[in-house]
Amino acid sequence: MAESKKKFIFVTGGVVSSLGKGVAAASIGVLLKARGMRVTMLKFDPYINIDPGTMSPYQHGEVYVTDDGAETDLDLGHYERFLDVNMSQKNNATTGQIYNTVITRERRGDYLGKTVQVIPHITNEIKRRIYAVVRDGEKDYDVAIVEVGGTIGDIESLPFLEAIRQFCLEVGPENSCNIHLTLVPYIKAAGELKTKPTQHSVMKLREIGIQANALLCRCEYRLNKELREKIGLFCNVPSRSVIEARDVKSIYEIPLVFEKEGLGEFLSNHLRLEAGEPDLVEWQNLVQRLGKPSKTVVIGICGKYVNLHDSYKSIIEAFKHAGVANDAKVELRWIDSEEIESKQSADILAGLSGLLICPGFGSRGIEGKIMAAQYVREKKIPFLGICLGMQCAVIEFARNVCGLKGANSAEFNDEAEHKVIDLMETQVDVSQMGGTMRLGAYKCNIDPNSNTYQAYGEEVISERHRHRYEFNNEYIERLTSRGLKIVGVNPDTGLVEIVEHRDHPWFVGVQFHPELKSRILHAHPLFREFVRAALEHASSAENGHVSKETQKNKKGAISS
């Protein structure tokens, strides 16, 4: 597709937040990719932070890390999982980044003494980033889908919307499309869906100068012909472009729902795409397998943000992918690591067929994670530890198997007698918090005699990192002599990346974040094999003795 025919789709949201713009945008990408289009994505976040790296999970949810080390919005995870492509720092921009760029240029004198203003300087930088995402070096894209964070009416998103208004004017109506995701609430007392919030949201968008070309209407019940015509009339949109986005059981059904509603055909016609017939057979088969698994397995997720599942969004989705790969439903039991500290591990962890200890920062709940690692090691329950989860498993092994009673991480006790986890040398002189960790993709050499190699089938892998602390290599000999296996090492630095246990059927701890590279059509190897090991453990338990306590705990599990 020629440069002059690059297409741009803008996705905005109205009425309320948390309607699922990221999933909607990613689903649109699936429809276009199924038609042979080369698709990329861009997320604009209106907050002034440079990135979410220093924000609490309770404020922002998961921080998603790309191969090139960008700390980004969790919606980039949806983009990668749905489209099966790798995003980069170009695919996420914040108000903080944009103002920082403009102010830096002003300090250099790039604006030749002119007064620097929101219009045109900030809006021009926003537009530059939209153009840049389709001109990404060696990659050549046909369509860019641009999602604007926040809700129409927010003050902080106005510069982005003004830039989009200008952009659409510049490229022309046949090369741009505005899709507005809105809410059509059901009022139980009246017994009907109400369209007024959508009307007001679209009216606010039009006041800014943007006319929606299509509406995605989130609703609990079907939109009948009368409601579609009413919405279309008052929002100045053809009724055939009013798309029902009804609640579904799985987010992976959404592309098929949109296709059935005619969204793919609408976009092809509106943008005059040189597109083929959609091929969604693989996606249809996936959704079918997702909805009808033949087996069920209960796996625990141990962390300290378990009341906010978005903190572990990529982990949850990776388990769904691994479930599909194993024809199984993975039921997740959320375990607060602080609760383990005040109770017996057996009371909380009994009945699990596998345990994952989550990544994180800070000392809160750490002793509970260490106790959980001890429990599954001794009970031979399949285990996967990610980043801090791996570090807790190493601390536990040092204390309880190697007899290093003072073993700890320098992150939690810098005066510990045995700092088996220590600050990386490259982090010693770091004073700034944002963007200074070991971030992005690094290589790892894998020992062929390991469960990890059996999962990957490769001796050299590349995985994404986000951490400051590492396995202390001074303790390698003492720990490996007692049964800890170092099965993954960075070839350039010698840093330990993966540990296993010699006397355990499936116990893997990794310093990196495998969940970030799992895709719905391609489950991550470690998650796939972890779930398989959990299924085998569950099967052996069922064929043997299963206690009443185990049965009780299984009933208390929560579906992923």
Which active-site residues does the annotation give? 387, 513, 515
Alpha-carbon span 71 to 92, nearest angstrom: 9
Residues 349 and 355 sit within 8 Å (Cβ to Cβ): yes
With b meaning 16 or more CB within 10 Å and e meaning fewer, what string describes 186-200? Answer: eeeeeeebebeebbb
The owner of tokens 């990404």 is 136
Question: If DSSP states are collapsed to H, E and C, what string results for 143-183?
Answer: EEEEEECCCCCCHHHHHHHHHHHHHHHHHCHHHEEEEEEEE
Alpha carbons 134 and 374: distance in angstroms, whole number? 49
Is residue 245 helix, strand or coil? strand
Q: By C-alpha distance, which of 356, 362, 412, 363 is closest to 389?
A: 356
Owner of token pair 């006041």: 207
Edge-to-edge strands of the sheet including 242-246? 92-94, 39-45, 143-148, 7-13, 176-183, 214-219, 242-246
In contact, 345 and 374? CB cutoff 8 Å: yes
Q: Which residues contact 199 (CB under 8 A, 6 or more apart)?
A: 231, 234, 235
User: Is the peptide bond between 120 and the residue preceding it cis, with omega within 30 degrees of 0?
Assistant: yes
What is the spatial distance between Cα 70 and Cα 51, in angstroms, rounded to a whole number?
A: 8
Would you give the DSSP letter of residue 468? S
Alpha-carbon distance of 77 to 65, in angstroms, equals: 9
Asked if residue 165 lies in contact with residue 198, where contact means CB atoms within 8 angstroms, the answer is no
Number of residues that make up the chain = 560
DSSP-assigned states of every residue in 497-517 = EEEEETTSSSEEEESS-GGGG
Query: How many Å apart are CA 523 and CA 529, to the nearest integer?
Result: 10
Provide the 3-class DSSP secondary structure of residue 404. coil
Residue 142 to residue 532: CA distance in whole angstroms: 39
